[in-house]
Amino acid sequence: MTHIYLVYGSTKPLVDKKISEVIEHHIHQKDEFNYSQYELKEVSFSQIAEDAMTFPFLSDCKVIHIKDSYIFTGEKVKTAIEINIEDVLSFLEQFSGPNIVIFEVNQDKLDERKKIVKTIKKLHEVIQIEPLNEEGTKALIKQALNDVYKDIKADALNALIELTGIQYDIITKELDKVLLFVGDEPVITKKHIESVVSRSLEQNVFLLTEFIIKGQKQKAIHLLKDLIQMKEEPIKLLALITGQYRLFYQAKILKEKGYSESQIAKQLKVHPYRVKLALRNINKLSLNHLLKIIDSCAETDYQLKSSYMDKDLILELFILKI
């Protein structure tokens, strides 16, 4: 019998649903005696482990639910509570119940290089919640709006997806803003979305690469300056641009081999929507051209980290050159 689970994925409603199913499989009803919930950023792991190893009261087992289990990801988290990874590893290796421990991670990827990830995959049950495709995300948005007696027009829904880049956590935050903005109005329109919703950083970078591909360098430089004015670091922006061109390169290779959109997404382990956007542009680009841009990205990265030149200017010159 499995006593430790790790459930991960970026679509929180689906992660929550799966965790609820796991809980219901082990206990009939949650109460203060058979269910505990912790935020890993706020509580020491020794306290969590102690609770997990305490025998249940008036039930066969109890569930220990650990939210925001960032230690399984590559995320750098500033927290007042320092987690000793060796203690967690020891717990994963030795814990044998009777209680159930559920680690929750609200990200699409774990850091596969980490020993802690390899250990939990080897010894316990790891459940991945696949990211929703565009249609699935739209259905989830419509359902969330129906729950508060709101409707959304098709063009408004498309605009919301385009601006947020189909990242459900961002969509949720932006929808909260939209609902405050529309007030008692029953239908959300494209005008509402464009008035309130901010374009995500990733979507801004994708738009920037589209400007470059179309030869609209002036628009690209203008957008770059806007992003820098918003305090985005040139090195971070270059890393995102590089990642975008690497995705173009890999997607083009797989597309030429006959892979479908969904197969490319699975092979590259990226969200299907990112692949959809990438495929919009790769027909105009040769593999050789993409490779030259990726090389230029590497050279610019070196310049940003080693040159005394103004970093903003280095990035502007890079965009003008490619």
In terms of domains, do 87 and 22 share one? yes
Short-list 66, 75, 69, CA closest to 111: 75
CATH number of the domain to which 16 belongs = 3.40.50.300
Instruction: Write down the pLDDT at residue 180.
Output: 94
C-alpha closest to that of 212 among 244, 184, 185 = 244
3-state secondary structure 82-145: CCCHHHHHHHHHHCCCCCEEEEEECCCCCCCCCHHHHHHHHHCEEEECCCCCHHHHHHHHHHHH
Tens digits of per-residue pLDDT, 34-45?
A: 899 999 888 899
Distance between alpha carbon 147 and the CA centroid of its chain, in Å?
Answer: 25
Model confidence pLDDT, tens digit, residues 44-100? 999 999 999 988 877 788 999 999 999 999 888 777 788 889 999 999 999 987 999
Residues 54 and 8 in one domain: yes
Q: What is the pLDDT of residues 197-248, one digit of tens each?
A: 988 888 899 999 989 988 899 999 999 999 998 899 999 999 999 999 999 9
The last residue of a domain, from among 144, 175, 196: 196
CA 34 to chain centre: 31
Lowest mean pLDDT among 51-55, 116-120, 280-284: 280-284
Q: Work out the pLDDT band at 192, boundaries 50, 70, 90.
A: very high
For 165-176, write each residue's pLDDT tens digit: 888 888 888 999
Q: Which of 83, 84, 96, 87 is nearest to 124 (CA)?
A: 96
Residues 9 and 103 in one domain: yes
Does residue 251 or residue 280 have the better pLDDT? 251
Confidence band, pLDDT 50/70/90 cuts, at residue 27: confident
46 and 81 together in one domain:
yes
Q: What is the CATH number of the domain that holds 165?
A: 1.10.8.60
Q: What is the number of structural domains in the chain?
A: 3
Q: Are residues 227 and 294 in the same domain?
A: yes
pLDDT higher than threshold 90 for residue 127? yes
Q: Is 317 helix (H, G, I), strand (E, B) or coil?
A: helix
**Average pLDDT value over all residues in the chain:** 90
Indicate if 237 and 142 belong to the same structural domain. Answer: no
As a whole number, mean pLDDT of residues 289-296 equals 94
**pLDDT at position 115:** 95
Farthest CA pair distance, the chain: 70
pLDDT over 90 at 156, yes or no: yes
Does 16 score more than 80 pLDDT? yes
Question: Are 219 and 188 contained in the same domain?
Answer: no
122 and 31 together in one domain: yes
- Given a contact cutoff of 8 angstroms between Cβ atoms, the answer to whether 225 and 243 are in contact is no
* Domain stops at, among 96, 111, 128: 128
Residue 53 CB: number of other CB atoms within 10 A? 16
pLDDT at 1 over 80: no
Closest CA to 6 of 150, 121, 96: 121
Nearest to 63, CA basis, from 114, 17, 97: 97
What does the alpha-carbon distance between residue 61 and residue 26 come to, in Å, rounded to a whole number? Answer: 7
> 293: how many CB neighbours lie within 10 A of its CB?
22
Say yes or no to pLDDT of 110 above 80. Answer: yes
Same domain for 110 and 34: yes
What's the rounded mean pLDDT across residues 156-160? Answer: 92
What are the helix (H) ranges across the chain?
Answer: 12-26, 45-52, 85-94, 115-123, 134-147, 154-164, 168-182, 190-196, 201-213, 217-229, 234-256, 261-268, 272-279, 287-306, 311-321
Domain that holds residue 172: 134-196
- 120 and 20 share a domain? yes
> Residue 54 to residues 33, 36, 104, 319: CA-CA distances in angstroms?
11, 12, 21, 59
| CATH number for the domain harbouring residue 243 | 1.20.272.10
* Residue after which a domain boundary falls, among 196, 215, 245: 196
The reply to whether 74 and 158 lie within a common domain is no
Give the model's pLDDT for residue 176.
Answer: 92
Q: 210 with 185, same domain?
A: no
Q: pTM of the entire structure?
A: 0.68
In this structure, are residues 285 and 251 in contact, taking their beta carbons and an 8 Å threshold?
no
